[in-house]
Structure formats: C-alpha cells, structure tokens
Structure 1
Amino acid sequence: MNGPLEWIAAIGTMLAAGLIAADRGRRFTGWGFVLFCAVSVTWIVSGLTSDAMPIAAMNTVLLAINAWGVWQYLLSPKNRRVMEKMEAVQPEIEAEVEQELAREA
C-alpha cells in the first residue's frame, strides 16, 4: 500500500484539510469538502484493492460525512441564501472588526 494511488490520496487529503483550515469562506470550505470526497473514494479503492479493509471502511464513513459537508457548504438552498446575504455585508463587518482590534491593541 505505497503506490501512486495512495500518494494521490494522501496529497489530496492534505490539500483538502488545508482548504478547510484556511477559513477563507463557505465556498472555499465547500470545495475542500468536495476534494475530501474525491480522496475518500480514492482511499476506498486503495483499501479494497490492497486488502486494507480498515482504510476502506473508515473512508466510507468519511465519504458520507464529507458529502454532508458539501451539502451544507455548497448545495443547501437555505445555506446558499444565507451565504449570499452574508457576503454582501462581509467587507463592512471585517472593517469593523479590524477597527475594534486596533483599539484593543
């Protein structure tokens, strides 16, 4: 279990974690979950073809969790509307927070 498939899955997992950890907004995070879904499928295939059932089982569960993340961050009609409304006021709120932090310093 050390072939190109596993390396692709490992690098993709690290990139997806980085996208989510970067906290650059809901859409960015949503695409992190999309990447996590893709690499979960890769890990499942890798686990099944190399007789590593714990990896395949774990990533089957993670695939479901990450698919829920895609729904929450990219596909849910309610959350999309909330996101659109929040994006409209985000620059104003960010400027307000920066002013507050500058006063506290």
Structure 2
Amino acid sequence: MSDFILTALQYYGAGVAVLAALIVALDLGRRITGWAFVLFVTSSLALIAWGFLAEDSEGIGWQNIALLAINAAGVYRYLIRKKEPA
C-alpha cells in the first residue's frame, strides 16, 4: 500500500473524528448529531483500514472495529429509529 494512501487514511480518520466530536459536543439537534455519527462511521472505517494495512498499527484497527459498532448504534438511534413519544 502506498505511503500516500496510508497517510490519507490516517489523517482523514483523525480529522473527521475530531469534527464529529465537535458536532456532538455542540448539541445542535437530533438530526445533526445523527450525521455526526455518520462521520464517526467513516472515520472508523478509514482507521480500520489504516490500522490493518500499516505496520504495527493493529491496535488502532481493533479499537475502531469496536468504535464502528458504537457509531453504528448512534446512527441507528439518531437517524433511523423513530423517537419514542414522551
């Protein structure tokens, strides 16, 4: 795998995770928070790829497999599931 692609995966994953965390922290509403979780999913996918393709980075890959499941739950909760009536 080329160094450029590995570097792009690494920095995309890190940068998008920071952006998604900022969006969640700003609490801009249910739908926007859901889209932040979509960003988290893309970040996790990039970091899984980077973690298993780069040398000595498997820990990040495994961590992001777990985070991918958590982020998918966030997408389901905020974008797919109908909010229960109060």
Q: For this structure pair, what is the TM-score category when the shorter chain's length is used for normalisation?
A: 0.7 to 0.9
**Inter-partner Cα distance in structure 2 for 1:64 and 1:57:** 11
Percent identity, aligned pairs only, is 40
Q: Which runs of 4+ in 1 moved over 2 A?
A: none
CA RMSD across the alignment: 1.8
Q: Which structure carries more helix by proportion?
A: 1
* TM-score normalised by the chain length of structure 1: 0.71
Where relative contact order (Cα < 8 A, 6+ residues apart) is larger, the structure is 2
Choose which of 4, 21, 25 in structure 1 pairs with 2:25.
21
* TM-score normalised by the chain length of structure 2: 0.85
Structure 1 unmatched ranges of 5 or more: 87-105
Per-residue CA distance 1:56-101 (angstroms, 9 max, x = gap): 0000000000000000001003x1x65xxx9xxxxxxxxxxxxxxx
Choose which of 13, 21, 31 in structure 2 pairs with 1:9.
13
**Inter-partner Cα distance in structure 1 for 2:9 and 2:48:** 11
Tell whether 2:52 aligns with 1:54: no
